[in-house]
């Protein structure tokens, strides 16, 4: 009998069970994505901004393969939750959304990373995708593409209100207006939006960060005035990411752009837990144990002997490594003796005869695997090869001892965003509750082998 430390899967059909069995044969780890959680997170964000009639729309940010959750299923779940916009950084993902079946009748799509010379603005304009411009070569390239296609480009003017990344600075804005105004008058471009991004919206408790966000908002409004004076007032403005959507009602404007909230996390654990915001983490990452064996006290574990077993014990191999996106910085050290260092690695929930236990990566994370010191006899604990362990899940409350991606982020000295986006696509993504969340048309768009 194998034990399971992850939540039971809500299979929707016999085919779902067969898909799961096939995934287990293909790879010893699975990322299971709960589309209902994602839909509900979006519905909650939409309700927070006042609902569909509030004058504030919500964009599901699905860049980077929907933060590693899978582009198309996540986009469809966001739409099912009431998003009326989708956003991607890279143009090819925006085009993919249209090619995969999300037409302009369903939602607007905005894409924003480009260089003025190579991005296929012509294809984007033809596919009814809104584009951001934030540089003079960008304006020239968009205008040339719109003329070539014979259709106006829907443009969002990106302004640098203080983030220091993309967009026109206040000093450079006159030159931008000098190009934008005649193009808008001629009908080559349509000025749809004005937008910007916040640097520290996730720290509402740090006064100097609140002040710097206030300053960004003021600068943002000055840009709006300059556009109005120039005769190209934006139809909509947008500035708020998840953090601002949750905590700054005054700057939601006509559109909010939450990303991490859709996937069920708060942007910074300093803001609290996902549950504090009625968000539910959508992904759980599980794996099936490889070799489980007994070793003696003082046994070196993994490269560099950074972990020496403190006692006679059993170890278990988790078949995930840095080639899967498990951060090597989440390695666990325990050096006995003079050089004693004790740094716990990333957490793993393991089911034993006595219930769940939380273990930590012992020693260095390898390319395809890492090791757990079970701190006891595997035979007595009832832990065996083939058992399913859970690296992170929704964090079902203290008594469950269930780690979240925030816990892995702490162990790896990073943020939850990087934990998901690093997960390689060789780990199967499997979708739970698809039939409950999506209508028949949308279900048909998804890879049937990915549905549970």
Ligand X SMILES: *Cc1c(COP(=O)(O)O)cnc(C)c1O
Residue 335 CB-density burial (10 A; 0-12 exposed, 13-18 middle, 19+ buried): middle
Residue located via tokens 């969002």: 156
- Quick one: which segment of 94-102, 259-267, 274-282, 442-450 binds ligand X (CB under 6 A)? 259-267
For the bound state, the minimum distance from the C-beta of residue 438 to ligand X, rounded and expressed in Å, comes to 23
- Partners of 348 in the beta sheet? 359
For the bound state, the minimum distance from the C-beta of residue 43 to ligand X, rounded and expressed in Å, comes to 16
Residue 263: both structure tokens together:
């996937």
- Pairing outcome for strands 370-373 and 313-318: antiparallel
* Residue 227 counted as an annotated binding residue: no
Find the Cα–Cα–Cα–Cα dihedral 57, 63, 68, 71, rounded to 10°: 70
C-beta of 81 vs 261, nearer to ligand X: 261
Q: Which of 155, 135, 134 is nearest to 145 (CA)?
A: 155
Residue located via tokens 């299979």: 11
Contact 93, 289 (CB under 8 A): no
C-beta of 138 vs 259, nearer to ligand X: 259
**Per CB under 6 A, which of residues 224..243 are in contact with ligand X?**
241-242
Residue 303 known to be catalytic: yes
C-beta of 20 vs 85, nearer to ligand X: 85
Q: Does 259 bind ligand X (CB under 6 A)?
A: yes
Residue 280 known to be catalytic: no
Catalytic: which of 17, 185, 293, 303?
303
Q: Does 257 bind ligand X (CB under 6 A)?
A: yes
Task: Provide the H-helix boundaries in 34-89.
Answer: 35-48, 63-67, 71-80
Q: What element of type H or E holds 87?
A: strand 85-90
**Per CB under 6 A, which of residues 40..69 are in contact with ligand X?**
61, 63
Q: Which of 91, 93, 46, 18 is nearest to 257 (CA)?
A: 46
Q: Does 162 bind ligand X (CB under 6 A)?
A: no
C-beta of 30 vs 135, nearer to ligand X: 135
Q: What element of type H or E holds 343?
A: strand 342-343
- Partners of 432 in the beta sheet? 34
Q: Does 345 bind ligand X (CB under 6 A)?
A: no
Q: Does 260 bind ligand X (CB under 6 A)?
A: yes
C-beta of 89 vs 127, nearer to ligand X: 89
* Residue 429 counted as an annotated binding residue: no
Residue nearest to ligand X (CB): 259
Binding residues for substrate: 165, 367
Binding residues: 165, 367
**Residues contributing to the site for ligand X (CB under 6 A):** 61, 63, 89, 197, 241-242, 257-261, 267
Annotated catalytic sites, by residue? 63, 303
């Amino acid at each position: 009998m194998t034990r399971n430390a992850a939540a039971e899967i809500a299979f929707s059909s016999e085919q779902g069970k067969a898909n799961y069995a096939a995934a287990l044969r293909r790879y010893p780890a699975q990322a299971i994505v709960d589309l209902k959680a994602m839909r509900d997170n979006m519905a909650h964000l939409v309700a927070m901004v006042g609902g569909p009639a509030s004058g504030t729309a919500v964009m599901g940010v699905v860049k980077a393969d929907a933060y590693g959750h899978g582009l198309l299923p996540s986009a469809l779940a966001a739409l099912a939750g009431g998003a009326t916009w989708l956003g991607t950084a890279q143009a090819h993902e925006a085009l993919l959304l249209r090619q995969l079946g999300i037409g302009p009748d369903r939602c607007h799509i905005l894409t924003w990373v480009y260089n003025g010379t190579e991005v296929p603005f012509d294809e984007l304009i033809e596919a009814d995708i809104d584009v951001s411009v934030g540089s003079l070569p960008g304006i020239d390239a968009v205008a040339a593409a719109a003329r070539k296609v014979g259709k106006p480009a829907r443009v969002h003017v990106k302004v640098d209100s203080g983030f220091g990344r993309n967009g026109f600075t206040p000093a450079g804005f006159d030159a931008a207006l000098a190009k934008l105004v005649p193009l808008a008058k001629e009908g080559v471009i349509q000025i749809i939006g004005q937008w910007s991004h916040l640097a520290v919206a996730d720290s509402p408790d740090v006064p100097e960060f609140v002040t710097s966000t206030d300053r960004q908002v003021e600068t943002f409004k000055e840009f709006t005035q300059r556009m109005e004076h120039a005769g190209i007032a934006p139809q909509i403005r947008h500035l708020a990411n998840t953090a601002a959507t949750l905590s700054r009602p005054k700057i939601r404007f006509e559109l909010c752009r939450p990303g991490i909230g859709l996937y069920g996390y708060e942007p910074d654990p300093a803001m609290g837990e996902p549950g504090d915001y009625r968000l539910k983490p959508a992904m759980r990452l599980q794996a099936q144990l490889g070799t489980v064996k007994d070793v003696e006290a003082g046994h070196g574990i993994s490269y560099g002997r950074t972990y020496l077993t403190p006692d006679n014990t059993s170890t278990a191999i988790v078949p995930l490594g840095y080639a899967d996106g498990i951060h090597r910085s989440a390695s666990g050290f325990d050096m006995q003796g003079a050089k004693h260092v004790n740094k716990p690695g990333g957490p793993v929930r393991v089911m034993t005869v006595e219930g769940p236990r939380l273990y930590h990566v012992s020693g260095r994370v390898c390319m395809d695997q890492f090791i757990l010191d079970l701190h006891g006899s595997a035979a007595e604990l009832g832990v065996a090869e083939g058992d399913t362990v859970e690296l992170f899940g929704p964090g079902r409350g203290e008594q469950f001892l269930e780690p979240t991606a925030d816990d892995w982020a702490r162990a790896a000295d990073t943020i939850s965003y990087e934990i998901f986006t690093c997960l390689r696509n060789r780990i199967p993504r499997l979708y739970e509750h698809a039939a409950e969340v999506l209508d028949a048309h949308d279900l048909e768009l998804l890879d049937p082998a990915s549905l549970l």
